[in-house]
A and B are shown apart, each in its own frame.
Chain A
Amino acid sequence: MIDMERKKNLLLKIKKLEAYTEIQNTMGRMIAAVNFRRKEEVLSYFALDQEDVSFEYADEGVFKGKHAVQAGIDYLLGTEIRPGEMIDLQLTTPVIEVADDCETARALWWSPGAASVLREGEDPQAQWIWGDFAVDFIYENETWKIWHLHYFTLIHCDYHKGWVDDTSLINRKNTPMHEESQPTTWHNPYHPKAIRYGIPAAPYPYDTWRKEDENWMLRNDKTR
């Protein structure tokens, strides 16, 4: 007997599967745009109409609200790409949960990456840049958009020296924080003297967005 409940269950699964694919494609396109330093395209994947849209990058702070997100992306990606420069971030290890109401989703990716950074009077410096992306998505106007994005640095080091011998790049320089940024919520990159805590955490299944769960990625309680 195929009753209405079975039909609704199937429809929900199909909607979630569609969301799963769309979210991965959106994030993949966004990362490609970061790698090719296409600032306007990066911004186009954000839910800029949401009052609390945000992104947090390593220890550069939280950029919250449309104006701050635009300023933060400009700060990180705003300069013209020059000969010899490269950043290449990749997305792996996806853990993705779409809410039962299919209005929001939470996702985590581990991101191995490499970069070439220009130096004065010598060849560019080859660097490893590995980290994690923990992201909230919101469904608006039939599109999945990035609502809150948090990038966590894991290693950032000279390629030749490696992550144990070179910790000089894991923290930002002692220059003024961007005026639009709010305090960083978590920054614990690999360091030979530090301990790993499994943060960002993986998202867990959920029915609908609740404000009290907004920091799911910072949760050190691993029982769910």
Chain B
Amino acid sequence: MHITLEDLDLLNEEEFIEAEKEAERLMAVWEVKNLRGRAAIFHDDQHIGQKRKELKAMDHPSFDREGEIAFRMKPVVDSLEGNMLIHPLTTPVIEVDDTCTKARAVFWSIGIEGLSKFREKPMAILSLGMVPGTHVKMNGEWRILAGNWQRTTKNEYHAGWIDDMQATNTRPPLTKEQDRNFLGKYAYQKDEVRKPVPCPPMKDTWQKYPDETDPSWQFQNIEE
């Protein structure tokens, strides 16, 4: 049993507009999942400078375009040989605003990696994390405005997550303190109580935090 044009004829104007809005909202949820899936592929395929479809909201006034381009052009390993970053996306929670042009999301992720910084034998890494983010629709396309993979665990495969925590690989390398203030801020620590960050976007996220550049929705569990 499928909906037909005749079914739509039965709707009054108010009902039709409501149906349009709901369809648009559900399409947005789908498109945000697609967008993040595409971004995950580029996360794994790190050919620097290769032309590719733009997925970020480079033209949004709040977006640091120059910083993004500089970040993309900077190698963090000598060779791509043996390197892999697979962070599958699971457990999506996505909330779209009333205009269907802004969406907040949190995904969870269990991932595997191979890391070879200087052409040495790669390290097998098992990682758990989340991907919180804000997305905006610009010129008819959904783009990522903000939000990166946030680490929970990232350990040498055999060492396990109790005994090992690998820092984010940067050049120059981060100190433990710097890493803790960057993507490792909410990472698992065996001697600490875990902080409930990011909070998945709640149903009222756009009423409570209407500004798309406001990241505080992620921290509402620790602000309460």
Interface residues, chain A, with chain B CB atoms under 8 Å away: 2, 6-8, 10-11, 13-18, 20, 92-97, 108, 110, 112, 128, 130, 154-155, 162-165, 190-198, 201-202, 204, 222-224
- Chain B proximity of A151: nearest CB distance (Å): 15
A-facing residues in B1-42 (Cβ within 8 Å): 2-5, 8-9, 13, 16, 19-20, 23-24, 26-27, 30, 33-34, 36-38, 40-42
Given contacts A10-B16, A11-B5, A162-B158, contact A112 B38 (CB under 8 A): no
Given contacts A10-B23, A14-B23, A223-B53, contact A192 B82 (CB under 8 A): yes
- Chain A proximity of B161: nearest CB distance (Å): 14
**B80 at interface by CB-CB < 8 Å:** yes
Identify the interface centre among B3, B24, B37, B90: most chain A CB within 10 Å of its CB.
B37
Which chain B residue lies CB-closest to A159?
Answer: B157
**B121 at interface by CB-CB < 8 Å:** yes
Given contacts A93-B88, A164-B121, A202-B38, contact A222 B51 (CB under 8 A): yes
**Interchain residue pairs A-B with the least CB separation, the first 5:** A198-B45, A95-B37, A222-B52, A92-B88, A13-B23
- Chain B proximity of A103: nearest CB distance (Å): 14
CB-contact partner of A11 in B8, B26, B51, under 8 A: B8
- Asked if A163 contacts B88 (CB within 8 A), the reply is no
Which chain A residue lies CB-closest to B111?
Answer: A112
- Asked if B80 contacts A16 (CB within 8 A), the reply is no
CB-contact partner of A222 in B5, B53, B83, under 8 A: B53
CA distance A18 to B3 in the complex (A): 10
Interface residues, chain B, with chain A CB atoms under 8 Å away: 2-5, 8-9, 13, 16, 19-20, 23-24, 26-27, 30, 33-34, 36-38, 40-42, 44-47, 50-53, 80-84, 86, 88-90, 110, 112, 114, 116, 121-124, 157-158
CB-contact partner of B34 in A15, A96, A196, under 8 A: A96
- Asked if B40 contacts A110 (CB within 8 A), the reply is yes
CA distance A11 to B19 in the complex (A): 10
What are 13 sample pairs from A and B whose C-beta atoms fall under 8 A apart? A8-B5, A10-B23, A11-B5, A13-B23, A18-B2, A94-B34, A95-B33, A95-B38, A190-B114, A196-B80, A196-B84, A197-B47, A198-B44
CA distance A58 to B26 in the complex (A): 34
Given contacts A10-B20, A13-B24, A14-B23, contact A2 B2 (CB under 8 A): no
- Chain B proximity of A54: nearest CB distance (Å): 23
- Chain A proximity of B53: nearest CB distance (Å): 6
Given contacts A17-B30, A162-B124, contact A93 B8 (CB under 8 A): no
